[in-house]
Amino acid sequence: MHILVIGGAGYIGSHVVKALLDDGMQVSVFDNMSTGQEINLFDKAKFIKGDILDIHALEKVMSSGVDAVVHLAAKKSVAESIKYPEIYSTNNITGTLNILNAMAKFGVKNFVFSSSAAVYGMPEYTPLDELHPTNPINYYGYTKLAIEQFLPWYESLKGIKFVALRYFNAVGYDATLAVKGLEKNPQNLLPIVMEVATGARKSMSIFGNDYDTVDGTCVRDYIHVTDLASAHLKSLKYLAQGRDSQILNLGVGRGISVLEMVQALEKVIGKKLNYDFAPRRAGDPGFLIASSERAESLFGWKAMHSDLENIIRTTWNVYQAQ
């Protein structure tokens, strides 16, 4: 199978590319390198520098004999999406529609889409299953939901089958150090904690210690990126069998608090990290845990690499190496 991975030079994308190559698939990477990094490219995957807003470039690559598309080229900062919604409309919505239109034009029928737990908004119950109402509380989450709502139309009108994967909190690095790119100006917890540990950042704030959780700090379902990558591989194989389109959660089903994450790294590096407690961050639910039973029963996917120790160790290995 020839798979086009759009956004394949990014953090999650490069791990997906590795999983597909390891499985013997032919892979092309299409990335505008705005946040993708050259260091994340693999020699065995053909690289095309291009933008999803460039319809001509998309049509050119779709006409080259692609069997399926994995699309991870999205803007993903919640805060930025509220400040500059137009960027998120253009990139995440228009860009994705450009991809679907180019697929439709050249008869590419299988699509794996990076969605997000951000489509749910404030949880009404946990663990969240796929039937939980979708009420995004930020514009980033809305852009993901909007695409999920286009997908059944493209299926019925253009025959494009899809698997939309709702990631919970993606963390970790490939254990063989095959992916080395560190995120620049990270907004997410683990890279920030890592930067404090390496000294690249003097200190960090923990947003809120008065939540109704084990230690008062927010609890999330952190899933190792190698587990996310294997779900993309399974989704592609599932679609290749001509089976029904799906929307699937990808999480572990267990929670780790912010403080537990910080303390786990302190334990590994054997020193205290510099942090303070700051007020709650707007829009943060206290508790976000996934039920991924649907992915498990559908194609036997299970998180295998997501224990806290492995998350910390694989991430620290990459940070320490640089």
- Residues at the contact surface with ligand UFG, assessed by CB under 6 A: 76, 78, 116-118, 168-169, 187-189, 192, 204-207, 218, 220, 258, 281, 284, 288
Other CB atoms within 10 A of residue 212 CB: 8
- Residue 159 falls in which region: left (phi positive, over 0), alpha (psi -120 to 50) or beta: left
Based on CB atoms, which residue is closest to ligand UFG, 62 or 227?
Answer: 227
Based on CB atoms, which residue is closest to ligand UFG, 197 or 288?
Answer: 288
Catalytic residue selected from 120, 140, 142, 167: 140
CB of 166 vs ligand UFG, minimal distance in Å: 8
Task: Of 274, 216, 226, give the one whose Cα is nearest residue 252.
Answer: 226
Based on CB atoms, which residue is closest to ligand UFG, 22 or 293?
Answer: 293
Based on CB atoms, which residue is closest to ligand UFG, 204 or 265?
Answer: 204
Query: 104 Cβ partners below 8 Å, 6+ apart?
Result: 154, 158, 160
Identify residue 294 by its one-letter amino acid code.
R
> What end-to-end distance do the CA atoms of the chain give, in Å?
35
Based on CB atoms, which residue is closest to ligand UFG, 84 or 207?
Answer: 207
CB of 102 vs ligand UFG, minimal distance in Å: 26
Is 142 in the active site? no
160 by Cβ neighbours in 10 Å (0-12 / 13-18 / 19+) ranks as buried
Closest residue to ligand UFG: CB criterion: 218
Query: 140 Cβ partners below 8 Å, 6+ apart?
Result: 75, 76, 77, 78, 80, 81, 88, 92, 116, 118
Strand arrangement, sheet containing 256-257: 256-257, 219-220, 287-288
Mind telling me the catalytic residues? 140
